[in-house]
Amino acid sequence: MSGPWWSARFMKGESCVSRASEQKNSYFHSFLLLMTATIWGVAFVAQSVGMDHVGPITFVAARNVVAVVALIPVLFYFNHRNARKNVPRPSCDRRTFWTGGILCGTLLFGGMVTQQIGLVYTTVGKAGFITTTYVVLVPLLGILLGRKIGLRMWLAVLLALAGLYFLCVKQGEFSIGLGDSIVLLCAFFYTIQITCVDYYVQKIDSIQLNFMQMAVCAVLGSISAVIFEDPSWPNLLAAALPILYAGVCSSAMGFTFQTVAQERVSPTVASLIMSLESCISAIAGWALLGQVLSSRELAGCVFMFCGIVLSQLPERAVKRRR
């Protein structure tokens, strides 16, 4: 026998407590991801309202300056925590760090600016769903990098394309509106940016890479705003609340919540929860701005959401359902 009966019962009880604790942690971290999706969904409203006072590039510049300032204590906290717990971190030379940070930051800036400009010409709900198509586009980009995708992924792409058609193309016409086209370009920027982050995060600490991205966006945004727009302090102060929300909540808090939560939640579950961002943006646009989607556009949202969810389901789950 391995030990007395009471010892086995004690160990069994301890194991049950441990499992319950792990499950509670999983729920908490899943809640953090839901909070992130909510923050990012509502951020579309803040971005739209902010442009009542400032131009799209000025808004992007201002939100990233705020994000960099807000991320400084976050950066110090995670560096201290990782050092105290001896958490292994990726190490790289300065060239890799600067190359990765500048490349990912430039692509992120492209995504942010095109999304912001697109919001001038389209609704918050449509922008949210079109932006989220990067979830489907990322695996497609993997084909160019030599990766294979299965039948499930192709079905997800077809659903997303059908959704995009109903959402963006008016009945009887075969052209996409200017705003929808610009936001679709934003989705392509995010697709390439996510692929680059996936590569560099293996070499650079994720928090440091995130900070570097925001810093690059702040610099590029500030230079572009001075060249192409006419930013002024009165206008920036008038848009202070949306800028603070986008900078502190969406960029600093959102990315930090995501980083912390994904330490305990599987990538598949995380992606499924985060895809709710598109639905929340549509609800926020309706509740806060009175933007209502037509039945045709709602059908497009349903198709796109199904494609997004299908693209994130694990192969085993799909096979079991068959």
- The pLDDT, as a whole number, for residue 271 is 67
- The pLDDT, as a whole number, for residue 317 is 47
Q: What total number of domains does the chain contain?
A: 1
Residue 145 belongs to a domain? yes
Residue 71 belongs to a domain? yes
- The pLDDT, as a whole number, for residue 1 is 46
Q: Residues near 48 by Cβ (< 8 Å), separated by ≥ 6? A: 119, 124, 285, 289
Helix (H, G, I), strand (E, B) or coil at 176: strand
Q: Residues near 2 by Cβ (< 8 Å), separated by ≥ 6? A: 8
Residue 1 belongs to a domain? no
Per-residue pLDDT of the chain (322 residues; tens, 9 = 90+): 444 544 445 445 555 555 555 555 677 888 888 898 899 989 999 999 999 999 999 999 999 999 999 999 988 888 888 778 776 766 677 888 899 999 999 999 999 999 999 999 988 988 888 888 887 787 778 777 777 777 887 888 888 888 878 877 776 655 678 998 999 999 999 889 888 887 888 888 888 888 999 999 999 999 999 999 999 999 999 999 999 999 999 988 887 887 777 667 766 567 667 778 888 888 888 888 888 888 888 888 888 888 878 876 765 544 444 4
Residue 18 belongs to a domain? no
Residue 24 belongs to a domain? no
Radius of gyration from C-alpha coordinates of the chain:
22
Residue 22 belongs to a domain? no
DSSP 239: T
- The pLDDT, as a whole number, for residue 266 is 66
Residue 64 belongs to a domain? yes
Residue 108 belongs to a domain? yes
- The pLDDT, as a whole number, for residue 259 is 73
- The pLDDT, as a whole number, for residue 321 is 44
Closest CA to 270 of 43, 18, 26: 26
Domain extent at residue 57: 30-321
Does the model's pTM come out above 0.85?
Answer: no
